[in-house]
Amino acid sequence: MSKSEEKLQNNQEIQGIIEEINELRSKKNAIILAHNYQPPEIQDIADLTGDSLELSIKAKKTDADIIIFCGVSFMAETAKIVCPEKTVILPSENAGCQMADMLTAEDLRKEREAHPDAVVVTYVNSTAEVKAQSDICCTSANAVKVVNSLDADTVLMTPDKNLAKWVERNTDKKILYWPGYCPIHDKLMTRHIESVRRQHPDAVLMAHPECPMDIIEMADFVKSTSGMLTYARESDNKEFIVATEVGLLYPLKRQNPDKKFYPAFDEMICEDMKKITLVDILNALKGQCRETTIDEQVRQKALMAVENMLHIPRKG
């Protein structure tokens, strides 16, 4: 078989899988959610794309019975925390998050004992058990706002030290932090930025707050993934250096065909975010994957931390 015949056969097979997914998705009243870091073919077939909490909140408002969450385990857990009435399925059971795994509920219990006066603010990139031990959650978009809303002088931020350091720059409160980090963002170095800037001197640098502080200091803007998508859409700038997982380049380019986007470092790839395939989604819809479950007491406590974040009072 020639290469072009092979490609045609592959395309036909992919089309066949997508047709089966579409048929089962409507028959089972399922919704497919894809995080902004997922591979293009997954984002293309999703009903909703976005960041983890945004997706769970949007899914709650739908009448879908089943959520197929294309992301990593803490994201499927977050969907279950917010939508207990729905069946939530992560199509690849091996898709985890190295940062979330850096802090256990037991670690956090000990930290709380060591700092009894601190309010515990936990990034949504954490396990359900850790959320359940926290006073309030935050996202990368609202972390500064959440911390500044608290009636406390000392805050313990978990599990991401880099997000904590970004917040520390933007608050008068005393910030303690757990030394976790996202290995994908943490490997970005100033020399990578200097090299891309030399090649694209007119591009502005957008950095995710999971990046180390020396990168944050070089950035023109510090934004969450959703914040980067909004900023790129609304900005008059035409060229952008993107300091986050490379998967975000796909929706950025798709939404802004007249603008140019360059990865800050093309090795910023989260392998866990690339584990789910179209076949996995089809198998999940066929009922061949385990559903995400959370102990009800843990779920309720974790939900309280999430809801505390959603209801933070406006200041000023």
Nearer to ligand SF4, 118 or 206 (CB): 206
CB 206 within 8 A of CB 190: no
Output the six-digit token pair for 303: 């939900």
Mask for 154-183, x = binds ligand SF4 (CB under 6 A) = ----------------------------x-
Closer to ligand SF4 by Cβ: residue 124 or 144? 124
From 121, 155, 184, 282, residue interacting with ligand SF4 (rule: CB under 6 A): 184
User: Which whole-number Å values give the CA distances from 174 to 61, 156, 165, 179, in the listed order?
Assistant: 37, 9, 11, 16
DSSP assignment of 117-182 equals: TPEEEEESSS-HHHHHT-SEEE-TTTHHHHHHH-S-SEEEEESBHHHHHHHHTT-SSEEEE--B--
Q: Is 77 in the site for ligand SF4 (CB under 6 A)?
A: no
Distance CA 12, CA 276 (A): 20
Indicate the residue among 43 and 282 with the shorter CB distance to ligand SF4. 43
Query: Roughly how many angstroms between the first and final C-alpha of the chain, as a whole number?
Result: 69
Residue 125 touches ligand SF4, criterion: CB under 6 A? yes
| Binding-site member from 51, 111, 135, 272 for ligand SF4 (CB under 6 A) | 272
Find the shortest distance in angstroms from Cβ 309 to ligand SF4. Answer: 18
Measured CA distances, 234 to 55, 193, 259 (Å): 22, 23, 11
Q: Which residues of 121-134 are buried (b: 16+ CB within 10 A; e: fewer)?
A: bbbbbbbbbbbbbb
Q: Does 273 bind ligand SF4 (CB under 6 A)?
A: yes
The footprint of ligand SF4 on residues 84-113 (CB under 6 A) is 97-99
- Residue 82's nearest CA partner among 37, 111, 124 is 124
What is the nearest approach in angstroms of ligand SF4 to the Cβ of residue 182? 3
Question: Is residue 186 a contact residue for ligand SF4 (CB under 6 A)?
Answer: no
With CB under 6 A as the rule, give the number of residues binding ligand SF4: 11
The residue from 51, 77, 135, 245 that contacts ligand SF4 (CB under 6 A) is 245
Q: Which is nearer to ligand SF4, 97 or 219 (CB)?
A: 97
Q: Which residues bind ligand SF4 (CB under 6 A)?
A: 72, 97-99, 125, 182, 184, 245, 270, 272-273
